[in-house]
């Protein structure tokens, strides 16, 4: 039996990046906001202090900051011919846990999507014709334009203090920036991070091949910065422990370093941690959310009534909660009907390992997002006609981590352990390099999320089931991108290189990225999207959903910049439209 709590105005489920952004914007209106977070409270100096934050064993290998699969996991299968089994240790992606969410342990690569990414289907059909797209590809337009999103990208970048170099200000190309990016209103808030040696060599090689290299936009700051909320961040120390680690230097943009210090001072804001929302409750009509039910750390069940519910959990858990709450029609891959679980997508990454003689790259000088990239082969920046695939990605020499245990590279054929392995590691530690491509992953009819028929979580709820595999289009793209990257690396003069294009089948046991996307996507048609263009549920208008859950498909960039921009976009719609006239913001 649940105990009913006094009603509040707004409940936010999940206090990561988007939950914090929404909470900041919504508490500003004077309304009372309660954020419910499954994980613990986390604070820079107490939870990832510089005195022990750089512990690869604790954080990288033992997954200290992540959700425990015993708490909640999901099952996985590549296709309908297999029986899905539960993931018992994280591999391909790392579900976040706790206040700050993925914002605590991201690499802080802070990109914008290309203008054409937002009109993907209509753009590609117009340029290449309907038949050019694989038959089972279910890509869609987002229902918004880049121009509409620009001010919200700007807001997120200025919240974070993102370090970068503009390539296009108001339509005017800027030397040294990304010439393919959409027009931005102004430059990044802080200049790019200083580049280590290898990215500098990469940029020179790329220029020689006629490309336009530019510094990767980074949420690990090049210099001290105070954001518009008055919260201060410090310069990155290039310690190399970003991805999977919290930053103890206040230099990586996260909810902790940009928003929470302001939020915790607001008397109308309340965060309840170690509280897992089990259900979004609906009234008898099924058209209105009445609040949420959650379980606290002691196992007590509470009902928190609210006028408005904002679902801000990690992508997979947003979809899980919608399915468990019976909101929206579950997607059926056979009929192609239904919207919850539809268009699950991921990210297609690949790499080139290069081994040099007489080079010293100082690989321990690293940050989550320092590097030089090119964007010639992203999105539709090049003619796909001759290549027989769609999509693309950025590529570059990004010195993302300085971790000593797993950050070592050895040429293929080296023994996996022992004296011979040690010798080769020592020989190659300073002079090898891994460059990477970060490719799009488009959506398909058979890539979706649903509830597992067999396995349940500790609360007795059906686990979420991931049905996913890479498709030929993506693997062709990855081979193409990897070849282009290898050409650049070759120009840097290595002794040998090894190409690692992404190949199928998709496996959940080896880390790739945590960029899981889709499942409750935004769009213009309630038959093919769960949310309208303001991220409002078509079915339950007092429910909004944020995060990469809303992506109809994933572009060739890290998603957080876009996730942050859409959080601001939704916040704006709620504050300036919904609260004034509660109800559907788009007629269905």
Partner 1 sequence: MQQSALAGLLLILGVCAACAAEPVRPAKPAHDKQSFAEIERGHYLATAGDCAACHTDPGGKPYAGGRPVETPFGMLLAPNLTPDRATGIGAWSDEDFVNALLNGRGAGGTRLYPAMPYTYYTKISRDDALAIRAYLNTLEPVHNEVKSNQLPFPFNIRLTMAGWDLLFFHAGRFQPVAGKSDEWNRGAYLVEGPGHCGLCHTPKNFLGADETDNVLQGSVLQGWFAPDLTGDPRRGLGSWSADDIVAYLKTGHNRISFATGPMSEVISDSTSRMTDDDLKAIAAYLKDQAAPKESPPAAMSAQNNSMRSGETIYVDNCSACHGPGGKGITHLFPALDDNPIVQSKDATSLIRVTLEGAQNVATQAAPTGPAMPAFYWKLSNAQIADALTYIRNSWGNRASAVSSGQVDDVRSEPTQR
Contact footprint for partner 1 (CB under 8 A):
43-46, 49-51, 224, 226, 229-235, 237, 239, 248-250, 261-262, 265
Beta strand spans in 460-576 (E): 462-467, 496-500, 517-519, 543-545
Nearer to partner 1, 362 or 456 (CB): 362
Residue 588, both tokens = 């269905």
515 is catalytic: yes
- CB of 185 or CB of 264, closer to partner 1: 264
Residue number, 164 or 248, with CB nearest to partner 1:
248
Interatomic CA distance for residues 73 and 87, integer angstroms: 6
DSSP state of 330: B
d(CA 141, CA 122): 7
- Minimum Å gap between C-beta 296 and partner 1 is 21
Phi/psi class of residue 303: alpha, beta or left (left: φ > 0; alpha: ψ in -120 to 50)? beta
Closest CB 40 distance from partner 1, rounded Å: 17
**Rounded CA separation 564/567 (Å):** 5
Least separation in angstroms between residue 232's CB and partner 1 is: 4
Active-site annotation holder among 60, 63, 320, 515: 515
Q: How far is the CB of 156 from partner 1 (least distance, A)?
A: 19
Residue 284: both structure tokens together: 């008898």
Distance in Å, CB of 261 to partner 1, minimum:
4
Element (H, E) at 456: strand 448-456
Tokens standing for residue 25: 């914007």
For residue 302, the cross-strand partners are 3, 294
Round to the nearest angstrom and report the end-to-end CA distance of the chain: 36
Cα–Cα distance for residue pair 118/122, rounded to 1 Å: 9
Q: Which is nearer to partner 1, 260 or 565 (CB)?
A: 260
Query: Can you read off the two tokens belonging to residue 431?
Result: 């002079």
The answer to whether residues 50 and 249 touch, using CB atoms and an 8 Å cutoff, is: yes
Closest to partner 1 by CB, 59 vs 480, is: 59
φ, ψ of residue 303 in degrees (nearest 5): -110, 125
CB of 262 to partner 1, least distance (A): 5
Nearer to partner 1, 228 or 388 (CB): 228
Nearer to partner 1 among residue 46 and residue 81 (C-beta): 46
Residues with Cβ within 8 Å of residue 222, at least 6 apart in sequence: 163, 190, 191, 192, 193, 194, 235, 236
Q: Nearest approach, Cβ of 21 to partner 1 (angstroms)?
A: 16
Taken as a whole, the chain contains a residue count of 588
**Strands 301-311 and 8-13, sheet pairing:** parallel
d(CA 11, CA 166): 37
Indicate the angle between helix axes 560-573 and 17-27, nearest 10 degrees: 30
Cβ proximity to partner 1: between 80 and 264 the closer is 264
Structure-block tokens of residue 186: 């102004």
**Could you count the other beta carbons within 10 Å of the beta carbon of residue 401?**
24
Residues involved in catalysis: 515
């Amino acid at each position: 039996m649940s105990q009913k709590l006094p009603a509040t105005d707004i409940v936010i489920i999940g206090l990561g990046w988007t939950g914090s952004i929404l909470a900041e914007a919504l508490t500003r209106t004077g309304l009372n906001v309660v954020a419910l977070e499954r994980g613990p409270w986390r604070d820079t100096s107490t939870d990832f202090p510089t005195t022990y934050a750089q512990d690869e064993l604790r954080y990288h290998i033992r997954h200290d900051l992540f959700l425990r699969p015993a708490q909640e996991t999901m099952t996985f299968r590549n296709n309908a011919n297999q029986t899905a089994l539960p993931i018992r240790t994280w591999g391909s992606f790392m579900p976040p846990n706790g206040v700050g969410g993925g914002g605590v342990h991201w690499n802080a690569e802070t990109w914008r999507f290309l203008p054409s990414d937002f009109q993907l289907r209509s753009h590609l059909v117009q340029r290449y014709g309907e038949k050019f797209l694989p038959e089972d590809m279910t890509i869609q337009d987002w229902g918004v334009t880049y121009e509409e999103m620009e001010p919200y990208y700007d807001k997120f970048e200025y919240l974070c203090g993102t370090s970068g170099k503009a390539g296009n200000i108001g339509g005017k190309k800027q030397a040294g920036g990304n010439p393919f990016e959409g027009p931005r209103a102004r430059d990044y808030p802080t200049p790019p991070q200083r580049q280590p040696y290898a990215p500098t060599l990469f940029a020179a090689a790329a220029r020689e091949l006629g490309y336009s290299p530019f510094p990767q936009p980074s949420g690990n700051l090049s210099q001290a910065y105070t954001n518009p909320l008055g919260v201060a961040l410090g310069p990155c120390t290039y310690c190399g422990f970003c991805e999977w680690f919290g930053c103890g230097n206040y230099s990586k943009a996260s909810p902790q370093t940009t928003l929470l210090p302001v939020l915790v001072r607001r008397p109308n804001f309340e965060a309840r941690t170690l509280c897992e929302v089990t259900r979004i409750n609906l009234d008898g009509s099924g058209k209105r959310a009445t609040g949420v039910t959650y379980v606290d750390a002691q196992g007590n069940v509470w009902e928190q009534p609210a006028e408005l519910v904002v679902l801000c959990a990690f992508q997979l858990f947003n979809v899980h909660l919608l399915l468990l709450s019976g909101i929206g029609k579950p997607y059926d891959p056979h009929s192609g009907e239904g919207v919850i679980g539809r268009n699950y997508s991921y990210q297609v990454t690949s790499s080139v390992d290069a081994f040099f003689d007489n080079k010293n790259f100082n690989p321990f000088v690293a940050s989550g997002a320092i590097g030089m990239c090119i964007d010639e082969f992203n999105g539709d920046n090049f003619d796909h006609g001759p290549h027989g695939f769609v999509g693309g990605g950025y590529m570059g020499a990004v010195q993302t981590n300085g971790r000593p245990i797993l950050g070592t590279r050895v040429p293929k054929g080296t023994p996996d352990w022992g004296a011979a392995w040690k010798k080769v590691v020592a020989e190659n530690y300073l002079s090898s390099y891994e460059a990477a491509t970060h490719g799009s992953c488009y959506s398909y009819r058979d890539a979706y999320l649903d509830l597992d028929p067999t396995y349940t979580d500790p609360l007795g709820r059906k686990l979420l089931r991931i049905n996913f595999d890479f498709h030929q289009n993506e693997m062709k793209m990855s081979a193409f991108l990897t070849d282009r990257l290898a050409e650049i690396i070759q120009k840097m003069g290595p002794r040998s290189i090894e190409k690692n294009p992404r190949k199928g089948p998709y496996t959940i046991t080896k880390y790739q990225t945590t960029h899981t996307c889709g499942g409750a996507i935004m769009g213009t048609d309630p038959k093919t999207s769960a949310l309208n263009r303001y991220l409002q549920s078509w079915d339950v208008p007092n429910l909004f959903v944020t995060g990469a859950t809303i992506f109809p498909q994933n572009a060739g960039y890290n998603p957080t910049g876009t996730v942050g921009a859409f959080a601001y976009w939704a916040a704006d719609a709620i504050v300036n439209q919904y609260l004034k006239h509660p109800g559907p913001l788009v007629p269905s």
